[in-house]
Amino acid sequence: MATEDTTQQANPSEEEDAIGRIPTPPFRTPKGVHDILPHDHDFHTYIKKIVRHRCRQAGFKRISTPTFEFTEVFKRSVGEATDIVSKEMYTFEDKKGRSLTLKPEGTASICRSYIQHGMQDWPQPVELFYIEPHYRYERPQAGRYRQFWQFGFEVLGEADAALDAQAILLPYRIYEDLGIVDTLKLQINNIGDLDSRTQYAEALRDYYYGKERYLSDEDKIRLEKNPLRILDSKHEDTMILNQSAPRFSEFISQESKDYHDEVLEYLTDLGIEYTLNENLVRGLDYYSQTVFEFWDQKKGAQNSVGGGGRYDGLMELLGGPPTPGIGFAMGIERVIAQMKRNKVRVPSKDNLHVFVAQLGREAKKVCLPLMDELRERGVKTMGALGKGAIRNQLTIADRFKVPFCVLIGLTEVREGTAIIRDMTVGTQKTVKMEKVVDEVIKRIGIKNLDYYNPKEPANE
């Protein structure tokens, strides 16, 4: 179980050492990217298991797209005026001068893949999920990294309010399994179709013109390029201005309103609470109709742990046939931070059963096959196969908190025995070599053995 919180810090490797110096190893990770150390992997593994289980139950299939794509894929779909495209992309040229970009989000690549592989001929809707790292050149801070993991899914090929409700239900159940659903608030909005958004954008421009001095530099640019994005601003003065800005609801067609009401009705039927948030527009241009985010109850917009929405026009932007879609993505590091803040414990299967300590080359010869047999039979076994006194080996065993040790020294080799030591009570017993595995299993208990059958069907 993890105790340290490495996801919270902007750069965990800059911790001071015991006497207050910052150690300076010659190489360290670049700003904003992190190693995932074993104790955080317990969280990653747990989250992946839950996600895969929930997706499998709902008939979703897993997809992986490449780490990089042609830059155009993101420019065309995510939109030039978005934060992602305008300032957050890791773009580089390959040796032939082609512009490539590390994927900043998942939807564009999956739509590209849908078109490329003719998925419109598959049974619709095509429901795909992914668990992948993504890359954004952001200013690193708690919960905001340059490489971060996302779980996400897309439902392509059909548009229906019930599918929107399902796209909210699935993450809702996942957050529930993860033990954090009560700490989150679902924010939901309907941003209408392109026509109503164009009209609304005009109204927003009229409203903000003349008030530019209160806007941040970034929001001034948004005013020209995509005024809706101003509503998503995290700049304090802008947020105050936003409160009196024209309302989206005045510009939304009756059809969209009905659609929205239908989604909300499904949510109510499912017992999912929501907050209507007219300022929720999401950071990407491709959204239409339903948009939603799950926010930490306390921390507000900066702490979105996941979000999604409908994007019925996106496939055409990428040169594909008109194909409706809805998707969702959650930041795994933010979920982990949320779990840690709320003291959610995750089970780990890494605890060892047995530590095998030996003395001398002859003992090692006996140890290796013994360890192999223990493992074959489901006993999680570690051995000190280097040199070192038995006493030191036992100290290591203590640090691994193993319940049992098997000790083999020269006498034991000669007599064909081994010592089994109960580390909790400190008692030990000599047993015949051929009985060691049975005896160990008896003590651990058959139900606690760690079996894995590679022939069982894969789960993703």
Task: Return the residue of 47, 85, 108, 305 that touches ligand ATP, per CB under 6 A.
Answer: 305
Please identify, among the stretches 41-49, 142-150, 153-161, 316-324, the one whose residues bind ligand ATP according to the rule CB under 6 A: 142-150
Which element (helix H / strand E) includes 47?
helix 38-57
- Burial level of 45, CB count in 10 A (0-12/13-18/19+)? middle
Smallest gap, in angstroms, from Cβ of residue 154 to ligand ATP? 13
Q: Which of residues 148-177 bind ligand ATP (CB under 6 A)?
A: 148, 150
C-alpha 115: how far from chain center: 26
Binding of ligand ATP at residue 136 (CB under 6 A)? yes
Binding of ligand ATP at residue 144 (CB under 6 A)? yes
Nearer to ligand ATP, 326 or 371 (CB): 326
Nearer to ligand ATP, 330 or 419 (CB): 330
Nearer to ligand ATP, 150 or 381 (CB): 150
Reduced to 3 states, what is the DSSP secondary structure of residue 427?
Answer: coil
Q: Which of 4, 266, 276 is nearest to 13 (CA)?
A: 4
Q: In what order do the strands lie in the sheet with 288-296?
A: 61-62, 126-135, 147-156, 325-331, 304-310, 288-296, 184-190, 275-276
Q: How far apart are CA 76 and CA 442, in angstroms?
A: 63
Q: How far apart are CA 454 and CA 379, in angstroms?
A: 17
Q: Which residues contact 118 (CB under 8 A, 6 or more apart)?
A: none
- Burial level of 220, CB count in 10 A (0-12/13-18/19+)? middle
Task: Return the residue of 75, 334, 340, 421 that touches ligand ATP, per CB under 6 A.
Answer: 334
Nearer to ligand ATP, 218 or 262 (CB): 218
Task: Return the residue of 79, 157, 227, 307 that touches ligand ATP, per CB under 6 A.
Answer: 307
Please identify, among the stretches 140-148, 371-379, 402-410, 436-444, the one whose residues bind ligand ATP according to the rule CB under 6 A: 140-148
Smallest gap, in angstroms, from Cβ of residue 138 to ligand ATP? 5
Judged by CB under 6 A, the number of residues near ligand ATP is 18
Task: Return the residue of 12, 133, 283, 378 that touches ligand ATP, per CB under 6 A.
Answer: 283
Smallest gap, in angstroms, from Cβ of residue 2 to ligand ATP? 18
Nearer to ligand ATP, 144 or 235 (CB): 144
**What single letter denotes the amino acid at residue 403?**
P
Nearer to ligand ATP, 145 or 251 (CB): 145
Q: Is 148 within 8 Å of 10 (Cβ atoms)?
A: no
Q: Which of 431, 448, 434 is nearest to 373 (CA)?
A: 434
Give the number of other Cβ atoms within 10 Å of residue 46's Cβ. 19
Task: Name the token pair of 55.
Answer: 């997706």
Task: Return the residue of 329, 371, 384, 444 that touches ligand ATP, per CB under 6 A.
Answer: 329
Q: Is 324 within 8 Å of 141 (Cβ atoms)?
A: no
Task: Return the residue of 5, 138, 176, 278 that touches ligand ATP, per CB under 6 A.
Answer: 138
Binding of ligand ATP at residue 102 (CB under 6 A)? no
Please identify, among the stretches 172-180, 256-264, 266-274, 301-309, the one whose residues bind ligand ATP according to the rule CB under 6 A: 301-309
Q: Which of 200, 192, 175, 197 is nearest to 304 (CA)?
A: 175
Task: Return the residue of 241, 263, 330, 419 that touches ligand ATP, per CB under 6 A.
Answer: 330
List interacting residues with ligand ATP (CB under 6 A).
105, 136, 138, 143-145, 148, 150, 283, 304-307, 329-331, 333-334
